[in-house]
Amino acid sequence: MNIKSNFVELNKPKKIWAIGSIHSNLNSFTLIKKHILKNFNHDDKLIFLGNVIGLGDNSKETLTSVIDLRFSLMSKFKLKPDSIVFLRGAQEEMFSKLLQLHLAPNPTEILDWMFDHGVNKTLNSYGFSEKEAKNIASSGTIMISKWTASLNKAMQKNPGHTQYFLNLKHAAFSKTKKILFVNRGVDITRPLSAQNDCFWWGFQNFSKIKKPYKTYVRIVRGYESEHISNSEIDNHNVVCTLFKQPLSNNSVICGIFRENGEILDLFENK
C-alpha cells in the first residue's frame, strides 16, 4: 500500500466491494468472506470500511481472517496492493491510541473512556486483562511504556497485524470522483484535503444530506450510531450506510458498486 497518502484512488475498477463494520463478528464475516472468494474478479476492488476489530470477543482472530482474505485475493488475481483498502474506523483509532498510552497526558481517564467504547475486547483478544491495564495506567510513564511495548510484541506475533494498523487510510474514491468510501462521515463544508477526524467520529446531520458532496454523488460508509432502515439504502440517496443497529443483530453488510456510484448489490452474511 501507498503509506504516503491518507487517501486511495481506485483506478478503473469493474466492481467495488465494500464491507461495513465487522466489530469482531468472526462468524458473520466468514460467510461474507466465502462469498467474496467465490465471486471476486480480477478487475474488482475491495474496501474494508473500518471497525474490523472491537466490541466482539474475536478481534485478533477476525483481523487474521481479514488479512488472510487479502492474501488469498492478491495471490489468486495478482492484484496490486492498493486493490484492497483498509480504512480507519473508531475502533482502530482507539486501539492505536492504546498502543501509545505512555504518551497520553491523562492515561487513566483515556483508558476508561476507550474501554467504555469496546476497546477492552480487542485488548482481551491479545491476552491482556482490563484490570492489569487499569493498574498500569496509574503507575507512571515508565511502567506504561513497558506495558505498551509488551502489547506491541504480542501483536507482532500475529503476521500482518502491525502492518494493518500502519497502513490504514482515511478514505477511498473512484478516479471519476463520483463515489467516496469512508468509515462514518465527512465534514461536507470542507474538501477532503482539509478534513479532520470526523472520518471515524462522524459529522453532525451527515445522514440527512440530500445533495452530492463536491463531485461525489454517492458516499458509502461502514458505520452509523443510530438505526438506519433498509428503505434508506437505495440508489436515490447520497449516503449509503453498510451497517445496521442494534449491534446485537450480529450482521455484517457488504455492498457492490460501480465507480459512477451505482449500487449493484447489497447483502448480509451471504
SS (H, E, C) 79-129: CCHHHEEEECCHHHHHHHHHCCHHHCCCHHHHHHHHHHCCHHHHHHHCCCC
Residue 136 reports pLDDT greater than 50: yes
Length of the chain in terms of residues written: 270
Contacting residues for 155 by C-beta, under 8 A, at least 6 apart = 99, 126, 161, 162, 165
Residue 231 reports pLDDT greater than 50: no
Q: What confidence score (pLDDT) does residue 122 get?
A: 98
What is the rounded average pLDDT of the residues 226-249?
74
User: For cell 493498574, what's the residue?
Assistant: 135
Prediction pTM value: 0.94
In whole angstroms, give the CA distance from residue 35 to residue 32.
Answer: 5
Residue 73's alpha-carbon distances to 18, 31, 42, 49, 67, in angstroms, are 15, 16, 9, 18, 10
Residue 196 reports pLDDT greater than 70: yes
Q: What confidence score (pLDDT) does residue 2 get?
A: 42
User: Residue 216: beta bridge partners?
Assistant: 213
Q: What confidence score (pLDDT) does residue 129 get?
A: 97
DSSP annotation of 154 reads H
Q: What confidence score (pLDDT) does residue 32 get?
A: 97
In whole angstroms, give the CA distance from residue 5 to residue 54.
Answer: 25
Among 175, 155, 172, which residue's Cα sits nearest to residue 163?
Answer: 155
Go through the domains of the chain in sequence order and give each one's CATH number: 7-85+168-268 (3.60.21.10), 93-156 (no CATH)
Tens digit of pLDDT for each residue in 96-124?
999 999 999 999 999 999 999 999 999 99
248 falls in which pLDDT band (50, 70, 90)? confident
Contact between residue 110 and residue 144 where contact means Cβ atoms under 8 Å apart: no
Among 57, 62, 128, 50, which residue's Cα sits nearest to residue 91?
Answer: 50
To which H or E segment does residue 68 belong?
helix 59-77
